Amino acid sequence: MKSMLVIQHVEHEGLGIIDDLLVKRGLKPDFVKTFRKDSVPKTIDGYSALIVMGGPMGVYEADIYPFISDEIFLIKDGLRKNIPMLGICLGAQLIVKALGSDVYKGKKKEIGWYKISLTNDGKMDELFNGLPDEFTVFQWHGDTFDIPDGCRCLASSDLFPNQIIKAGKNVYSLQFHLEVTGDMVKEWIDVNDEELKSVKDYIDAGKILKEAPAFIKRLNEHGEVIFNRFLNLIDK
C-alpha cells in the first residue's frame, strides 16, 4: 500500500481516533501541516489516499490563507485520478469547492452535540450501511455548502441540510467530527474561548462538556466503523 497524505490546518485538530486505526493497520501517514508552513504538494502522485482535516479558516479566505488554493488544486488532481479522499469540516468544504460548488456562511453556528439523519442514499452507502438512521455527532462549524453537480447528500441535520456529501465511489465530505476524543473536545473549548463567547447567547460551552460523557463512546464506535470502511477503499 502506498503512503497516505494528511493535511492538518491547526495543531489541535489532529487525526484523533483515526490515528489509532492507522497504527493497527501498520500505516504511517505523511503530514502536511499548514500551521507550520509546510508546502502542499501539487500532485497526489505517490499517495494512495488523502485526508483533509478541519480548521477555523474559511474556504473563501484564500487571500489570507494561500494554502487553500493549493489544497483545492491538489484535491482536483485527486478527483481526476480517482484517489480515495476524506474531508472533515473545513476539509469537506475544500472538497466541495474543488467539485465546483459554493461554500458560504450559514445562518448560525453549529457547535456541540447534534443529531444527523441519514438520507436513503446514506442508509445504503457502504460506509454508513447498518448504522442507526439517526445518531449524534460533534459539530464545530458556521459555514455550509451546496451539493455539487453529480454528488449525493448522505445525511442532514436540522440546521444544515448537507452534512455528508459523496462524490463518485470513494470521495466523502463530512461536515461534522467523528474523530474527536473526550480530551479533544475539552481542548477545543479551551482553545476557542473567544469564538464561544461570541455565540454564548445560543451555545453553552459548559453544557457541551457536561454532555460529552453521554455521547463520546458511541460517537467513537460509529467513527471506528466509518473510518475503517473508508480505509478499506484504499485497496480496492
Nearest-angstrom CA–CA distance, 41 and 54? 18
What are the φ/ψ torsions at residue 26 (nearest 5 degrees)? Answer: 75, 25
Is residue 89 annotated as part of the catalytic site, yes or no? yes
Q: Cβ neighbours of residue 214 under 8 Å, at least 6 residues apart?
A: none
Cβ–Cβ under 8 Å, residues 6 and 27: no
Across the strands, what pairs with 96? none
Is residue 151 annotated as part of the catalytic site, yes or no? no
Cβ–Cβ under 8 Å, residues 52 and 84: no
Task: Compute the Cα dihedral for 41, 42, 47, 51 and give only its sign.
Answer: positive
Annotated catalytic residue within 9, 13, 141, 177 = 177
Annotated catalytic residue within 9, 13, 71, 89 = 89
159: how many CB neighbours lie within 10 A of its CB? Answer: 15
Across the strands, what pairs with 145? 103
What is the side-by-side order of every strand in the sheet holding 3-8?
30-33, 3-8, 47-52, 85-88, 171-174, 164-167, 152-156, 103-118, 134-145
Q: List strand residue ranges (DSSP E) for the chain, in order.
A: 3-8, 30-33, 47-52, 85-88, 103-118, 134-145, 152-156, 164-167, 171-174
Q: Cite the active site residues.
A: 89, 177, 179
